Amino acid sequence: MIVTFTDFGLEGPYLGQVKAVLHMAAPGLPVVDLLADAPAFDPQAAAYLLPPYASVFPPGSIFLCVIDPGVGTERAPLMLRADGRWYVGPDNGLFEPLMRRSRQLSCWRITWRGERLSASFHGRDLFAPVAAALARGEAPETLGEAVEPPRRPDWPDDLARIVYVDRYGNALTGLRASSLAQGDQLGIGGHVLYRARTFGDVPAGQGFWYENSNGLAEIAVNGGRADQVLGAVLGAAVDLYAGYTP
């Protein structure tokens, strides 16, 4: 399957145009919209969402990943093969955590160009056709040249800020819950939050953090919105208190 991971949103023509290219270039293959509202203009925040959510898809899946504020500039277009899955998108750090956590990794710089390449919509004109070609079974060597994966060693292994807020107001951090001790607390907006297993383990209206279904530390309020009650808005910094006692 082809999986889209973008900041295009569901409104407007952008995702529809991309999916039209995918359907024309790889007819009959399923296209799954994993995320259409990734943090806009923020490839670093999106980068920490991609590995946990991509990991549940089977090997052979092709991820079309477009959070690309530098579209049309000298940033490189890339194809990655990481642990049996393909990733197509820009070289702007979007794949950095994914590369660190992959056991097997190969990288190609996309050199293929179609008849039309707009300056501002490489998601439709470059990345979608390449993702479709990979889905059809074309070899990456026909689409680009092998390169050493570009890295960002200054980026942290886990990002201590809010990287996504869902429709319920729950706030996902860029922290893997497995990187935190059982007794660690998280701080945000002047609030210190204890860990709970799930919503019903705390009283209504109380804030807490928990390991979400994809392994990230997520901040929530039982029966409320963490973004409004706790100030857990996109981009907000998250503090870590190890063995903290209020």
Concatenate the DSSP letters of all residues of 223-235 into one string: TB-HHHHT---TT
Contacts of 212 (CB under 8 A, 6+ apart): 172, 177, 218
User: Which alpha helices (H) appear in 43-174, and where do they start and end?
Assistant: 43-47, 50-54, 96-101, 122, 128-135
Phi first, then psi, for residue 242 (nearest 5°) are -90, 120
C-alpha to C-alpha distance for 1 and 55, rounded to whole angstroms: 14
Number of helices and strands in the chain (H, E) = 7, 14
Q: What's the average model confidence in pLDDT over 201-213?
A: 98
DSSP 75-113: PPEEEEEETTEEEEEESSSTTHHHHHH-SSEEEEEE---
Q: Name the region of 189 (left: φ>0; alpha: ψ -120 to 50; beta: rest).
A: left
Q: Is the Cβ–Cβ distance between 29 and 135 less than 8 Å?
A: yes
* pLDDT at position 155 over 70: yes
Tokens of 169: 């107001």
* pLDDT at position 246 over 80: no
Cα distances from 198 to residues 89, 131, 209, 220, 241, in angstroms, run: 35, 37, 9, 10, 20
C-alpha to C-alpha distance for 123 and 104, rounded to whole angstroms: 26
Q: Which domains does the chain have, with CATH numbers?
A: 2-146 (3.40.50.10790), 159-241 (2.40.30.90)
Q: What percent of the chain has pLDDT over 90?
A: 98
- The pLDDT confidence band at residue 227, using thresholds 50, 70 and 90, is very high
- The pLDDT confidence band at residue 159, using thresholds 50, 70 and 90, is very high
Tokens of 200: 């019903």
Q: What's the average model confidence in pLDDT over 139-160?
A: 97
C-alpha to C-alpha distance for 130 and 31, rounded to whole angstroms: 14
- The pLDDT confidence band at residue 244, using thresholds 50, 70 and 90, is low
- The pLDDT confidence band at residue 150, using thresholds 50, 70 and 90, is very high
- The pLDDT confidence band at residue 170, using thresholds 50, 70 and 90, is very high
pLDDT, position 53: 97
pLDDT digits 0-9 by tens, 61-88: 999 999 999 999 999 999 999 999 999 9
Query: At residue 155, what is the residue type?
Result: W
* pLDDT at position 50 over 80: yes
pLDDT digits 0-9 by tens, 19-44: 999 999 999 999 999 999 999 999 99
* pLDDT at position 198 over 60: yes
Q: What percent of the chain has pLDDT over 70?
A: 99
Average pLDDT, the chain: 96
* pLDDT at position 229 over 80: yes
Phi first, then psi, for residue 27 (nearest 5°) are -65, 140
- The pLDDT confidence band at residue 7, using thresholds 50, 70 and 90, is very high
